[in-house]
Amino acid sequence: MPDPAFLPFTRPHIDEQTIAEVGRVLASGWITSGPKVQAFETQLSALFGGRPVRAFANGTATMEVALRVAGIGPGDEVITSAITWVATANVVVAVGARPVFVDIDPVTRNLDLAAVEAAITPRTRALMPVYLAGLPVDMDRLYDIARRHKLRVIEDAAQAIDARWQGRRIGSFGDLVSFSFQANKNITCAEGGCLVMNTVDEAERAERLRLQGVVRTGADGMDVETPGGKFNLTDINATIGLGQLPHLAAITQRRTELAAAYFQATERHGLASLGIGLPPTPMAISAAGITPNWHMFQVVLPAERLAGGRAGVMQLLKEAGIGTGVHYPALHLFSFYRGLGWRDGQLPAAERIGRGILTLPLFAQMATEDTDRVCFQLALACRQLAL
């Protein structure tokens, strides 16, 4: 049993009504893709302004299918961030294309859009921005680059459900937009994801690709025109998602309140004076026209000035009953991507932040006073480990 006094970096919340509804689905005998998936897709489409939506088994599948829907394949290049979950790059490799990593803005920790434009070559076919911690990029500038260079945009909005740009919800506009409903996301299906598309034709292609490429006609007709995968969401998972969606606005509001409490606590405990980098402030974000969903509250430690580096801080926080996470190391330095030619020093901002970034606890059921406890213990750990 988990220690009830331990504060994890995240914790999903499933209400009793949803748990009961999952039980009814299990008892129904129809537990794979069926009416609950269809209902979930209908509600998601409404959330995103009526755009076509298909649900998938996970947010990795949505990205791979998005690439295939966009016609990305061998010989193509896709520009993306080095600070993201490795799935973002792995799906590019899976379709035979090459991920091209660019450095990040050290303040937002998202793609440096000037670096994006500089990285475009005749082989570039798509841009894949990542909205780290639920913070979108400058969408006007992103799509201006895409239009001028005739590129598809596949938005890795895995963490950005209910975030907004200039008042418009991410997913309600743009090109292909992918969301994740994995267990640590703001709303969850336990595992799941969805892809928002532009046309019915794209949605039908995505639907075929998520289940082996099969096309059925009549009572017994079956054909496969292109191979697909086994990416379908189950009614069990969709039922969890249907139970989560009505709470989305309240979850976003609560996370926003907790983020504000964190900023106050970081000031009380002098985190900046210890060399700890903070996220962009709510005032700065709002001035840029961005409304994040505060999927994560992340700091950047001065790891090179701490005995034991980030791991040492994480251990002391764990001993104090506080869980943390690392989201993410600079993925271009993983062995596989080094094998594709990437090296230390190519993306200095991503590498520095990848060494020091630390995710602090943030979930809707947290108590506001937990933010003070976390910041107090973080400051204490950094002082204790200072070299």
Annotated catalytic residue within 36, 150, 185, 230: 185
Two structure tokens written together for 328: 């993410």
* Rounded Cα distance, 21 and 236, in Å: 9
* Rounded Cα distance, 200 and 8, in Å: 41
Interacting residues of 201 by C-beta distance below 8 A, sequence separation 6+: none
For residue 332, what is the DSSP state?
G
Three-state DSSP state, 288: coil
Instruction: List the Cα angle 277/280/283 in 5-degree steps.
Output: 140
Two structure tokens written together for 151: 């590129």
Nearest to 74 by CA among 103, 46, 47, 94: 94
* Rounded Cα distance, 95 and 274, in Å: 44
Question: In b/e form, how buried is each residue of 200-223, taking b as 16+ CB within 10 angstroms?
Answer: eebbebbbbbbeebeeeeeeeeee
Query: Cα-atom radius of gyration of the chain, to the nearest Å?
Result: 21
Q: Which residue has the tokens 């999927």?
A: 295
Annotation marks residue 150 as catalytic: no
Three-state DSSP state, 326: coil
Helix axes 59-69, 87-94, angle to 10 degrees: 40
Q: Which residue has the tokens 């506080």?
A: 322
For residue 134, what is the DSSP state?
G
Instruction: List the Cα angle 91/184/283 in 5-degree steps.
Output: 95
Strands 124-128 and 214-217: unpaired
Two structure tokens written together for 292: 């994040």
Residue numbers annotated as active site: 185
